[in-house]
Amino acid sequence: MNSATPTPSKARFGKYIGIYLAIILFVCAFGLGVLAGQAYYVRKQIQNENGQIEISKVINLNRTLNKSDEVNFYQFWEIWDKIKQKYVNTNVKDVDLFYGAIEGMVYALGDPYSVYMVPKTADEFAKDLSGEFEGIGAEIGIKGGQLTVVAPLTDSPAEKAGLRAGDKILSIDKASTFGMDVNTAVSQIRGKAGTEVVLVITRNGAGKAFEVKITREKINVPSVNFSWQGDKVAYIRVLQFNEDTETDFDRYVSRLAKEGAKGIVLDLRNNPGGFLDTAVSMSSEWIENGVIVSEKSENGYGKDHPVVGGHRLVGYKTVVLVNGGSASASEIVAGALQDHGKAIVLGEKTFGKGSVQDFETFEDGSALKLTVAEWYTPNGRNINKDGIRPDIEFKEDWENEKIGEDKMLEKALELLTAKQWPPEKDKIVTTTTAEKAP
């Protein structure tokens, strides 16, 4: 079970941990002599009259408040002391109060994708990105203020139980999700393989809310699937932009020219996202120069992510499949290929998860995931606000498709083998009927 993937860069996530620890070790080694000389002076500054270390003095040591500061940190420590002295349960640990205070501070931002993670949660998040975890195999996020299924992973317990992209989760094992953040929801849905979780959900067109019972399993997320379709059309399904995606994708791309591919279907449906670097390198296989995606924030910060090496798929007729479960890194790829005129985007409007998170780990194993900007396509579209609208809208027919049937894929193959290329855009292909609850 994942939270809607925040598209961290591997440079920020994978390499950061090693660099951070290296810096810590270097600073510790270099600073031992200096610290030895200053230790007595600092200790006297932060001790109270009884010789005990006061946390408030540690925090405020050498800190100068500027005129804009309206926060009295001594009130925080006053409340801390009152809890320690008067709270009925004397078993409360300092570390729990400490973590709780930080979690509350980040929660106050009102951003579902900015999260402070205690060490255990941070470790689980890292496992999610590696592609192995135990749970139901679904990506969740916040949409319209409600806990929402971004996408069930292919062949996961969630998909087998009938969970769909866009489902709103009202409760988890009878606990209401009202006001619940993503990480709390993930921790409640996640569990040991073989155990069961009961979700109450609502679905567009389904009428009343209904229960979905799901048995948890060990989830091994495949990165990329490949097959030949029709008359030498390469079908590449990218399920997640995790640690293995770039290697797997590269292996399949190397086959296309050798085996005479006449077209490509890039399937990003129900792909919740992942690493930014992988999205940029994948897009660069079709795009020769220019920008893949840009980061922008209200404080004036901006950064372009340009094309990198590759370009092996330039000139191939390509159709990209998307739906409401395509999010984050998936939207970056679809938006870049669409804006550069390298592919036709077919399907439904994407999820609209276009915020940029920095991910930092700390000495104790905890981590902070903080939104610092929003994604914009090469033509300046705000992914977080608008999502990616397809060139040709095709609404999936969940109820009437037979097992193993994929009408959207069939439509993509039809477009690639038609005499006219590129096909007429801004068309709507409707095959849906009113959806009913399973």
**Mind listing the pLDDT tens digit of every residue in the chain (438 residues)?**
555 444 554 444 333 323 233 322 333 333 333 333 333 333 344 345 554 444 444 444 444 544 446 778 888 999 999 999 999 988 889 999 999 999 999 999 999 889 999 998 888 887 766 666 789 988 888 888 899 998 788 788 999 999 998 899 999 999 999 988 887 898 899 899 999 999 999 998 777 999 999 999 988 777 898 999 988 999 999 988 988 899 999 999 999 989 999 999 999 998 988 889 999 999 999 999 999 999 999 888 899 999 998 899 999 999 999 999 899 999 999 999 999 999 999 999 999 999 888 889 999 999 999 999 999 999 999 999 899 999 999 987 765 555 567 899 999 999 999 989 988 877 655 444 333 333
Residue 28 DSSP class: H
The pLDDT assigned to 151 comes to: 79
8 Å CB contact between 135 and 159:
no
Q: What is this structure's pTM?
A: 0.66
The answer to whether the CB of 376 falls within 8 A of the CB of 383 is yes
d(CA 57, CA 182): 34
Class of domain 132-220: mainly beta
pLDDT computed for residue 428 by the predictor: 59
Can you tell me the distance from the alpha carbon of 44 to that of 59, in angstroms, rounded to the nearest whole number? 15
Q: How far is CA 295 from CA 220, 268, 301, 333, in A?
A: 31, 22, 8, 14
Q: How far apart are CA 73 and CA 15, in angstroms?
A: 34
**CATH 3.90.226.10 domain span(s) along the chain:** 224-354+373-430
Q: Where do we find the tokens 């994929």?
A: 406
Q: Where in the chain is the domain with CATH 2.30.42.10?
A: 132-220
254 is catalytic: no
User: Which parts of 221-332 are beta strand (E)?
Assistant: 224-229, 233-238, 263-267, 291-296, 302-306, 318-322
Q: What is the pLDDT of residue 204?
A: 83
Q: How far apart are CA 185 and CA 182, in angstroms?
A: 5
Catalytic residue among 9, 294, 328, 366: 328
HSE-CB for 129 with a 13 A CA cutoff: 20
- Which residue among 128, 181, 248, 339 is the active-site one? 339
As given in the structure block, the two tokens for residue 249 are 């994708």
The pLDDT value given to residue 207 = 78
Architecture of domain 224-354+373-430: Alpha-Beta Complex (3.90)
DSSP 8-state secondary structure symbol assigned to residue 308: -
Cβ contact 196:213 at 8 Å: yes
Catalytic site residue from 143, 317, 342, 353: 353
Give catalytic status of residue 353 as yes or no.
yes
| pLDDT at residue number 56 | 43
Distance CA 375, CA 329 (A): 10
Q: What is the CA radius of gyration of the chain?
A: 25
Q: Is residue 328 flagged as an active site residue?
A: yes
